Amino acid sequence: MVPEVAGNGGAPVDAAREVLVSVKDLKKHFPIMQGVFRRQVGSVKAVDGVTFDIYRGETLGLVGESGSGKSTTGRVILQLDKATSGTVSFEGQDLSTLSSGEMRRLRPQMQMVFQDPHASLNPRMTVSSIISEPLREHDEAGGDDRDEKVDELLGLVGLAPRHANRYPHEFSGGQRQRIGIARAIALNPDFIVCDEPIAALDVSIQAQVVNLLENLQDLLRLTYLFISHDLSMIRHIADRVAVMYLGRIMELAECNRLYTHPQHPYTRALLSAVPVPDPTIEAVRRRVILEGDIPSPANPPPGCPFNTRCPMAQERCVEEVPEWRQIESGHWVACHFAEETPDTPVITASSGPILTESE
């Protein structure tokens, strides 16, 4: 545990923050097999070298488009997928060095809330047995204590004890997500990976679930890695935000700083593309329309992964992978030309350019 002193990058945080999860140069490559002998002909570089810390008690938002590797990052951190290389440390312990028994003993401290509340709850189990399964597995409470604990958990997520004996299909999407959350907090975890927990829900229900997650965080002092493609929701819930693109993190900063002073061309383009529910702003906003699609992670471009779509790209971006560097305290960017991107606001009306074009 290395306490790090926060700079004055606009982050209203305590002087010393404790690192709970530390990710160093993490890679996850999935092999592509072909032919009769299942020879490996290549690999999908889902996560291709990411480095960041998660502080105790914070919500780190991880945003990216589909295929950027954000969900894989979450799964590898929890050791649900084995890393190809790199390390994940939890409270200073390198998880890859642990035996399966040791890992199992550590599991109660780190949990996951899944995206699809239909697929992640066993339809043949009652709510009570779904929520108490982790308790049974980890010998936390027996018999009556367990029932009491289930009632308490149901109460915490806004369901009633009478719901305990029902089956998942009897609930709506939002209620099912509450059941998934109750299961995740059953063992008093420190750390929860929320993998797109609201993506499958209706707008009015999303707010209910997000408010619940926020209340539980205050109550149980939880640390979240909140994975989402919804940049507006991330701004609402996160303390710091990391932006992923094609297996790499492009930019990481304290939440308000990232939204008001994004320095990476991808972040700037991404933020300018998100519509704001306000016709007066939309009428005057400027946009960067990125051309083309996100390249295949099986065949990423050389150099900076964003160079094929970046309006500012130059020769150096094709030749050299940009270094992951800190341009200001707490503000990390992987771009050769981060200092040269315009500093105009990207979300609200703006007169200046969002990105300058390279010749």
- Tell me if 145 contacts other proteins by CB under 8 A: no
Q: For other proteins, which residue of 224, 259, 306, 332 counts as binding (CB under 8 A)?
A: 259
Which of these segments, 13-21, 102-110, 123-131, 254-262, binds other proteins (CB under 8 A)?
254-262
CB 116 within 8 A of CB 173: no
Strands 59-63 and 240-245: parallel
Query: What number of other Cβ atoms are within 10 A of residue 135's Cβ?
Result: 20
Q: For other proteins, which residue of 153, 347, 354, 355 counts as binding (CB under 8 A)?
A: 347
- Tell me if 269 contacts other proteins by CB under 8 A: yes
For other proteins, the closer of residues 190 and 239 by Cβ is 239
- Tell me if 286 contacts other proteins by CB under 8 A: no
Q: How far is the CB of 255 from other proteins (least distance, A)?
A: 7
**Window 48 to 67, contacts with other proteins (CB under 8 A):** 65-66
* Gap between the Cα atoms of 106 and 139, Å rounded: 13
CB 174 within 8 A of CB 201: yes
Q: How far is the CB of 244 from other proteins (least distance, A)?
A: 12
- Tell me if 25 contacts other proteins by CB under 8 A: no
Place of tokens 């050791």: 79
Give the three-class secondary structure for 12: coil
The CA radius of gyration of the chain, in Å to the nearest whole number, is 22
* Gap between the Cα atoms of 286 and 281, Å rounded: 10
Give the three-class secondary structure for 5: strand
Could you tell me which residues are beta bridge partners of residue 254?
240
- Tell me if 337 contacts other proteins by CB under 8 A: no
| Site of interaction with other proteins (CB under 8 A) | 65-66, 172, 174, 202-208, 210-211, 214, 229, 231-233, 235-237, 255-256, 259, 269-283, 285, 287, 289-291, 293-294, 347-348
